[in-house]
């Protein structure tokens, strides 16, 4: 196949050197080897060119059909343009289909007068507008599903309320009757097992007696054999008497356990069967205003943010405070009021002031692991050993919601009223605050999904054993993977621009990865006093953040700068 042929490097080819390309530049329309690609990216004139790796290029280049310059219907060259129908035509098309159209132009003239970049930008805006509409509709329907789920839960809860009192009484009756049945059956079963044991012993004795019958007459006189058989016959008579006794008394009876219903139970069952339903479920549809907004009619009032240049980015240590928790730390976050929560792995949840002073230990048990903030008063915490997530109100210091899933809940992140939770090693599940599943992202991590960040339509997570950071969209498609120079990534967060900050535990460094996963920079290292840093957190609305070491000995407050 053509896709299996190697693509040659364009610049090397000009120098009459045959080198296999590792990347493809769409702007230059040629392949680049690793050396030429490096020069290509450093040059001012080509540094912003759009490039992809050669394998991706080869995989998708044949999916795009070639642009034809001949008419499909008549096989003639497309040399005319109809402004009424906004389409290129050949002479035959003009005479047959566009004879009454005014303003027919030369296609070459239209092409010369057209600013391709402006046209592309216009079409791109139109596509973006359509996608925005589709996204909006999909989001509305998703919210409608969520709302419907809540309404459904409300309906089922009302039914449960109707049954609750009945169930409570029935459960008590059931408990009493089951206890009585359990006692009776235990007694009967014990007697049956004792009788079985007794029979097994008798069987052994009879089998031995049968063997003795045959072996006792070998090489013996007729008198001896007669006397021996007489002895065995007396024993057989004893066992025959035992068999007759068993058949005649209760020991040989079949044991059945039955329940005898009383008249009141039958009456209640009859009345319940006559009840047709608890009520009727109705669907009420409300009209929505149908409107389509494109860039031709309105302009989105969204202020875009350019991606920060990470090469100018620095992380400065503002304060470093001893906290002396002295326990293995699994997670930490900075609350909106600058206080810090530090979670001991399957231990205590410590609330610290911004200067590292212990204010209190929250009354949270059951071995917590990861924590995220939902709003001013509420946080969510995972409990891997119980497959639980608890919503905890810090003001009242109570658990307001318990969410139980089917796998160990480990890493946790909150965004847009949804929780992203890492389940074991193979799934990141997006759920609402009621615990209902919104999306399921399948992954293949070598280590447990302990650290992840959910933001916009992306989930970023670390794989400690694979020495990598991954970025996927909500459908599970990998956007990028970063593994360069990483030795053991643990905690991570994002800055205001979407760049990813990673605590690389094994290399004693903090590294920033650009939002697109292409570039990286070491922000702090062991020379800056780092030691076993594991968890970090950045407040998106502020230039500062915090990180701590794996043993909870110190808390560092840092600030970002892009100067």
Secondary structure (H, E, C), 276-288: CCCCCCCCCCCCC
Question: Residue 159 half-sphere exposure, CB side, CA atoms within 13 Å?
Answer: 10
Report the run of H or E that residue 222 belongs to, with start and end. Answer: helix 222-248
3-state SS class at 470? strand
Mean pLDDT computed over every residue of the chain? 84
CA distances to 61, 103, 261, 478 from 29, in Å = 12, 36, 86, 26
Question: Residue 143 half-sphere exposure, CB side, CA atoms within 13 Å?
Answer: 7
Angle, to 10 degrees, between the axis of helix 116-215 and the axis of helix 222-248?
Answer: 130
The distance of Cα 306 from the centroid of its chain, to the nearest Å, equals 29
| pLDDT at 391 (0 to 100) | 95
Distance, CA of 294 to CA of 129 (rounded, Å): 5
Instruction: Tell how strand 340-344 and strand 314-322 pair up.
Output: unpaired
- Sheet strands side by side (includes 468-473): 452-455, 458-463, 468-473, 478-482
| pLDDT at 521 (0 to 100) | 93
Residue 171: count other Cβ atoms within 10 Å of its Cβ. Answer: 10
| pLDDT at 388 (0 to 100) | 94
Number of residues that make up the chain: 563
| pLDDT at 293 (0 to 100) | 39
Rg of the chain's alpha carbons, rounded to an integer?
A: 39
Is 80 in contact with 94 (CB distance < 8 Å)?
A: yes
Question: Tens digit of pLDDT for each residue in 292-347?
Answer: 433 333 333 223 334 457 888 889 998 899 998 989 999 999 987 778 999 999 89
| pLDDT at 303 (0 to 100) | 32
Distance, CA of 68 to CA of 90 (rounded, Å): 12
3-state SS class at 35? helix
Distance, CA of 379 to CA of 374 (rounded, Å): 5
Distance, CA of 515 to CA of 342 (rounded, Å): 27
Residues of the chain with pLDDT under 50: 1-2, 64-65, 289-307
User: Rounded to 5 degrees, what are φ and ψ at 46?
Assistant: -120, 0
E-only strand ranges, 443-519: 452-455, 458-463, 468-473, 478-482, 489-494, 500-504, 509-513
Distance, CA of 138 to CA of 322 (rounded, Å): 49
Residue-wise burial string across 362-396, b where 16 or more C-beta atoms lie within 10 A, e elsewhere:
bebeebbbbbbbbeeebbbbbbbebebbbbbebee
Residue 242: count other Cβ atoms within 10 Å of its Cβ. Answer: 13
Domains (range + CATH), the chain: 1-65 (no CATH), 120-244 (no CATH), 310-562 (2.120.10.30)
Q: What angle do CA 8, 14, 20 make, to 5 degrees?
A: 20
């Amino acid at each position: 196949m053509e896709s299996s042929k190697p693509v040659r490097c364009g610049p090397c080819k000009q120098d009459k050197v045959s080198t296999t390309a590792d990347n493809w530049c769409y702007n230059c329309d040629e392949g680049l080897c690793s050396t030429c690609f490096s020069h290509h990216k450093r040059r001012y004139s080509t540094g912003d060119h759009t490039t992809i790796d050669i394998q991706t290029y080869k995989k998708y280049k044949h999916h795009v059909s070639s642009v034809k310059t001949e008419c499909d219907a008549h096989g003639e060259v497309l040399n005319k343009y109809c402004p009424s129908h906004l389409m290129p035509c050949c002479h035959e098309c003009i005479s047959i289909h566009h004879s009454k159209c005014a303003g027919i132009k030369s296609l070459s003239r239209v092409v010369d007068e057209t600013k391709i970049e402006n046209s592309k930008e216009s079409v791109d805006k139109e596509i973006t507008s359509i996608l925005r509409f589709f996204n909006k509709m999909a989001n509305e329907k998703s919210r409608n599903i969520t709302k419907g789920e809540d309404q459904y839960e409300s309906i089922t809860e009302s039914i449960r309320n109707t049954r609750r009192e009945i169930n409570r009484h029935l459960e008590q009756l059931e408990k009493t009757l089951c206890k009585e049945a359990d006692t009776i059956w235990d007694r009967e079963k014990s007697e049956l097992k004792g009788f079985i044991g007794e029979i097994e012993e008798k069987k052994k004795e009879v089998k031995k007696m049968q063997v003795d019958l045959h072996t006792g007459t070998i090489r013996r006189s007729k008198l001896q054999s007669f006397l021996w058989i007489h002895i065995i016959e007396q024993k057989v008579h004893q066992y025959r008497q035992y068999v007759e006794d068993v058949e005649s008394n209760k020991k040989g009876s079949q044991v059945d356990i039955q329940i005898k219903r009383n008249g009141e139970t039958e009456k209640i069952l009859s009345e319940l069967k006559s009840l047709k339903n608890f009520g009727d479920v109705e669907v009420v549809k409300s009209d929505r205003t149908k409107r389509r907004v494109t860039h031709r009619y309105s302009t989105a009032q969204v202020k875009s943010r350019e991606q920060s240049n990470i090469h100018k980015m620095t992380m400065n240590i503002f304060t470093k405070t001893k906290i002396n928790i002295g326990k293995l730390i699994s997670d930490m976050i900075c609350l909106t009021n600058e206080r810090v929560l530090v979670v001991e792995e399957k231990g205590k949840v410590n609330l610290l002031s911004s200067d590292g002073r212990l204010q209190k230990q929250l009354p949270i048990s059951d071995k917590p692991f990861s924590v995220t903030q939902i709003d001013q008063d509420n946080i969510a915490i995972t409990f891997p050993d119980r497959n639980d997530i608890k919503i905890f109100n810090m003001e009242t210091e109570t658990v307001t919601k318990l969410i139980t899933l089917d796998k160990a809940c480990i890493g946790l992140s909150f965004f847009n009223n949804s929780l992203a939770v890492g389940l074991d090693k193979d799934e990141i599940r997006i759920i609402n605050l009621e615990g209902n599943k919104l999306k399921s992202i399948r992954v293949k991590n070598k280590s447990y999904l302990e650290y992840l960040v959910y933001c916009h339509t992306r989930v970023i997570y670390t794989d400690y054993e694979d020495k990598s950071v991954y970025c996927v969209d909500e459908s599970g498609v990998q956007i990028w993977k970063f593994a360069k120079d990483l030795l053991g990534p643990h905690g991570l967060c994002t800055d205001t621009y979407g760049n990813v900050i990673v605590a690389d535990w094994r290399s004693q460094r903090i590294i920033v990865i650009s939002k697109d996963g292409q570039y990286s920079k070491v922000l702090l290292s062991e020379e800056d006093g780092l030691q076993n840093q594991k968890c970090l957190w950045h407040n998106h609305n502020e230039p500062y953040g915090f990180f701590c070491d794996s043993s909870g000995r110190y808390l560092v407050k840092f600030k970002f700068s892009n100067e």
